[in-house]
């Protein structure tokens, strides 16, 4: 089955996936295999574009798919054996150097499933995909069955289908659908395999790791900063000087594996594109990068390498991981795709449609997630709301995006690079030097682009809620009766001691919030209370999602929980406090599970420029000094008295009138408005909107809002 999975999901040149994408029929392709003692079922799942969702396109996609399968079936047995042997080699390397998943429960679940499928001696190897014996004859037999059109069922789900076309009904899922026989003419045509003349069977794996020697070279407990400057040419002589790439090299760390994890951040210049139009550009840009690099990086990805690229409010970030032997090739290929993406008009249109579809489909998110997004858009200087980004995406022209790419090349970038794992100092510096050279551009014979310093680059800032803020908006999910209330109480930028006390507070408050709002009052099926970090600011966040009560009533109940919690803190015994202290200590001492988590732990201190690698040690030392809940009670009172509350209330179906403050006739709340006045005497700055946009943020700023400083405080100063 691994051969089938590799061949059908391969995304390199002239593959099934590549062909259908170039025809504008699909956005993606996934496979699923269900194996049992009765039968094995292979599912090929296509994510259709609007063109692919048209009725006649079903036939075209099926024609091309069967043509590809026929080519697989016609492949010579030696070719099948060659691919299978490369898969066998890769499977053994993957097993020998497997890493723990982020969640250990995933590993336990996989092993439990394998115990029911495989003999005891094969549980570990089979569950990890190890191929013991290459058997081309078995593969050919599977291909013959797969190529038989009489063994296939087709299922198509499209937005344009209506129940008027249905002739069947599934009562348990309440789904109406149309069922009919696949036309015989289609099946006869599939046997011929005449569609897709450019299709090609994937080659054997090309980058199976062979250099698996481990290095012991390390910077020690924390990453080491190495500045890699760009070259300057003066009077014909090349010299080093000026801004530098900030290389943070760790080398060998907690995991002895022939792998590495890299994080690469590219920050834009101050004042460059700090508006919603440029966020739309960056979203389109990152989607295009993933699209145009899919073919170029497929062979590397099939051999244990991967990358992700994300747009940030102030630039871009790459995450790279995998076997170190070819990781540098992946980095340079991906960076080249970002800096100079090669795309045509059809690919631009496909990315524009995909990004717009993703943003417009509110059913992808829960109401409370949409409320949090609105809060972040209002209280972060470089974040914009979904609706205004969507408008800009839809109005963007290809020429505008290409103009943005040219401006980006001229502007320069701040570059931060973290290297963790099986990469020595000199190889890391060599890679950093390659990156520096790649960032240099020339225009009309003049050097452009290059590196920026920290002070020249943008940095995100959270906005201070100088007075309570309340956002009231309609739940954007169609026909959804659920409401969402998200209250955030800003503390500010904490030092280490404040961080520890707030961490204790977050642990302590979670149960009272859940027990009161979820269990006793049954206000919603999603209820959480926790401490979270918003840029450099720590905030206490309480959220409730449900349909029982109006967000206004829920807000009153949240304030009541906080009042009661303050009383609990004042009367908390030392024994109970020491239990919470032990819980926080256990969390701080928890080890990372894999190299990716190790890199992320360091990266969080690098990306925000705090460089507080000793935070955990300082936090543990301060935690040991606490002997009672008194310090937590004091910081909780400071949080409440600071009066920096931001509340976002989403009103579901039936309560839309309450967005403007009017009450619907079905308001069943028995909470009293006076409770709000007692808890918070300052009237909030009110926003009753369809969506948060730049106008609301400007109103917040005009009301006296300032920005919190970026970065953190790496000391016990208070």
HEC profile for 165-186?
HCCEEECCCCEEECCCCCCHHH
- Does the pLDDT of residue 4 top 80, yes or no? yes
Rg value, the chain, Cα: 29
Judge whether 160 and 53 are in contact, CB under 8 Å.
yes
Cα–Cα distance measured from residue 220 to residue 96, given in angstroms and rounded to the nearest whole number:
26
SS3 letters for 440-509?
A: EEEECCEEEECECCHHHECCCCEECCCCCEEEEEECCCCCCCCEEEEEEEEEECCCHHHHHHHHHHHHHH
* CA distances, 492 to each of 208, 427, 509, 574 (Å): 49, 41, 19, 28
CATH of region 2-192: 3.30.830.10
Token pair 């070279």 is found at 217
- Does the pLDDT of residue 588 top 50, yes or no? yes
Query: Which pair of tokens denotes residue 389?
Result: 């980004």
Note the Cα 460 to chain centre separation in Å.
18
Assign a CATH topology to domain 224-366+381-456: Cytochrome Bc1 Complex; Chain A, domain 1 (3.30.830)
Query: Residue 442's pLDDT band (boundaries 50, 70, 90)?
Result: low
Query: Residue 681's pLDDT band (boundaries 50, 70, 90)?
Result: low
Note the Cα 418 to chain centre separation in Å.
19
The H-assigned helical ranges of 590-693 are 595-607, 615-625, 630-641, 674-679
* Count of beta carbons in the 10 Å neighbourhood of residue 70: 22
Cα–Cα distance measured from residue 127 to residue 107, given in angstroms and rounded to the nearest whole number:
10
Q: What phi and psi, each to the nearest 5 degrees, are found at residue 533? A: -105, 125
**What is the pLDDT, as a whole number, of residue 718?**
60
Cα–Cα distance measured from residue 312 to residue 267, given in angstroms and rounded to the nearest whole number:
9
Which runs of E-coded beta strand occur in 97-220? 168-170, 175-177
**What is the pLDDT, as a whole number, of residue 17?**
95
Residue-wise pLDDT tens digits, 132-147? 888 888 888 889 999 9
**What is the pLDDT, as a whole number, of residue 105?**
83
Judge whether 161 and 128 are in contact, CB under 8 Å.
no
Which whole number is the average pLDDT over 344-358? 93
| Residues found in the chain | 718
Residue-wise pLDDT tens digits, 27-67? 999 999 887 777 889 999 999 988 998 888 989 999 999 99
- Greatest Cα-to-Cα distance within the chain, rounded to the nearest angstrom: 81
Which whole number is the average pLDDT over 362-384? 94
**What is the pLDDT, as a whole number, of residue 624?**
95
Which residues touch 656 (CB under 8 Å, ≥6 apart)?
474, 664
- Long-range CB contacts (< 8 A, 24+ apart) of 362-367? 362/476, 362/477, 362/478, 363/477, 363/478, 365/477, 366/484, 366/526, 366/545, 367/475, 367/477, 367/480, 367/482, 367/483, 367/484, 367/545, 367/650, 367/652
Which residues touch 376 (CB under 8 Å, ≥6 apart)?
383, 534
Which of 517, 516, 467, 514 has the alpha carbon at shortest distance from 490?
467
What's the CATH class of domain 469-702?
alpha beta
Burial of 204 (0-12, 13-18, 19+ CB in 10 A): middle
Query: Which pair of tokens denotes residue 685?
Result: 């700055």
What single DSSP character describes residue 268? P
- Does the pLDDT of residue 242 top 80, yes or no? no
Token pair 């269990």 is found at 519
Residue-wise pLDDT tens digits, 177-236? 999 999 999 999 999 888 888 899 999 999 999 999 999 999 999 999 999 998 765 545
Token pair 């992808």 is found at 364
- What 3-state DSSP class applies to 549? coil
Query: Which pair of tokens denotes residue 65?
Result: 């798919």
| pTM score | 0.90
Tell which wins on pLDDT, 352 or 443: 352
Using CA of residue 209, residue 212, residue 216, residue 217, what is the dihedral sign?
Answer: negative
Residue ranges covered by each domain of the chain? 2-192, 224-366+381-456, 469-702
Helix axis angle, 574-589 relative to 496-513, nearest 10°?
110
């Amino acid at each position: 089955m691994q051969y089938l999975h590799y061949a059908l999901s391969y995304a390199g040149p002239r593959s099934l996936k590549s062909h259908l994408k170039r025809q504008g029929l699909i956005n993606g392709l996934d496979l699923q295999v269900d194996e049992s003692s009765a039968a094995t079922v292979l599912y090929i799942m296509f994510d259709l574009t609007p063109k692919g969702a048209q009725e006649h396109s079903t036939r075209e996609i099926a024609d091309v798919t069967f043509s590809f399968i026929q080519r697989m079936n016609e492949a010579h047995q030696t070719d099948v054996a060659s691919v299978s042997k490369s898969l066998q080699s890769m499977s053994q390397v993957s097993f020998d150097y497997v890493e723990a998943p982020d969640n250990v429960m995933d590993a336990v679940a996989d092993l439990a499933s394998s115990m029911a499928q495989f003999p005891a001696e094969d549980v570990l190897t089979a569950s990890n995909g190890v191929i013991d014996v290459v058997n081309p004859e078995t593969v050919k037999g599977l291909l013959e069955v797969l190529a038989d059109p009489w063994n296939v069922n087709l299922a198509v789900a499209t937005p344009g289908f209506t129940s008027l076309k249905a002739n069947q009904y599934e009562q348990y899922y309440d789904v109406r659908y149309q069922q009919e026989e696949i036309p015989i003419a289609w099946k006869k045509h599939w046997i011929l395999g005449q569609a897709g003349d450019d299709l090609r069977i994937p080659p054997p794996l090309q980058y199976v790791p062979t250099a698996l020697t481990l290095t012991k070279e390390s910077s020690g407990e924390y990453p080491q900063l190495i500045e890699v400057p760009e070259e300057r040419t003066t009077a014909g002589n090349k010299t080093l000087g000026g801004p530098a790439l900030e290389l943070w090299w760790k080398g060998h760390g907690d995991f002895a594996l022939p792998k590495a994890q890299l994080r690469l951040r590219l920050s834009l210049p101050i004042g460059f594109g700090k508006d919603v139009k440029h966020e739309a550009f960056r979203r389109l840009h990152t989607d295009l990068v993933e699209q145009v690099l899919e073919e170029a990086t497929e062979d590397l990805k099939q051999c244990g390498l991967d990358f992700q690229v994300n747009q940030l409010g102030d630039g871009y970030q790459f995450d790279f991981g995998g076997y170190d032997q070819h990781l540098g090739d992946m980095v340079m290929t991906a960076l080249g795709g970002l800096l100079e993406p090669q795309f045509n008009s059809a690919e631009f249109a496909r990315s524009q449609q995909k990004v717009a579809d993703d943003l417009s489909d509110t059913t992808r998110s829960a109401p409370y997630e949409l409320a949090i997004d609105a809060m972040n858009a209002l209280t972060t200087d470089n974040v914009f709301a979904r609706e205004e980004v969507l408008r800009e995406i839809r109005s963007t022209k290809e020429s505008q995006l290409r103009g943005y790419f040219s401006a980006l090349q001229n502007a320069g970038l701040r570059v931060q690079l973290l290297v963790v794992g099986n990469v020595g100092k000199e190889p890391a510096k060599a890679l950093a030097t390659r990156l520096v050279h790649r960032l240099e551009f020339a225009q009309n014979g003049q050097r452009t682009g290059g590196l920026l310093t920290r002070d020249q680059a943008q940095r995100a800032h959270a906005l201070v809620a100088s007075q309570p803020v309340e956002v009231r908006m309609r739940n954007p999910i169609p026909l959804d009766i659920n409401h969402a209330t998200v209250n955030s109480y800003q503390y500010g930028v904490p030092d280490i001691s404040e961080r520890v006390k707030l961490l204790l507070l977050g642990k302590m408050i979670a149960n009272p919030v859940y027990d009161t709002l979820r269990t006793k009052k049954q206000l919603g099926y999603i209820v959480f209370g926790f401490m979270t970090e918003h840029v450099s600011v720590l905030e206490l966040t309480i959220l409730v999602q449900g349909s029982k009560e109006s967000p206004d009533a829920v807000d009153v109940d949240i304030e009541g929980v906080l009042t009661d919690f303050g009383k609990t803190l004042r009367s908390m015994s030392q024994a109970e406090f020491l239990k919470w202290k032990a819980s926080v200590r256990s969390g701080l001492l928890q080890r990372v599970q894999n190299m990716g988590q190790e890199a992320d732990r360091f990266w969080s201190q690098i990306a925000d420029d705090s460089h507080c690698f000793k935070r955990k040690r300082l936090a543990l030392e301060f935690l040991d000094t606490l002997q009672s809940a008194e310090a937590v009670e004091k910081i909780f009172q400071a949080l409440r008295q600071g009066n920096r509350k931001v509340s976002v209330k989403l009103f579901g179906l039936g309560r839309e009138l309450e967005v403007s403050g009017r009450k619907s006739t079905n308001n069943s709340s028995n909470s009293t408005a006076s409770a709000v006045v007692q808890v918070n005497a300052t009237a909030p700055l009110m926003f009753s909107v369809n969506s948060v946009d730049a106008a609301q943020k400007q109103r917040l700023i005009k009301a006296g809002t300032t920005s919190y400083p970026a970065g953190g405080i790496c000391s016990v100063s208070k």
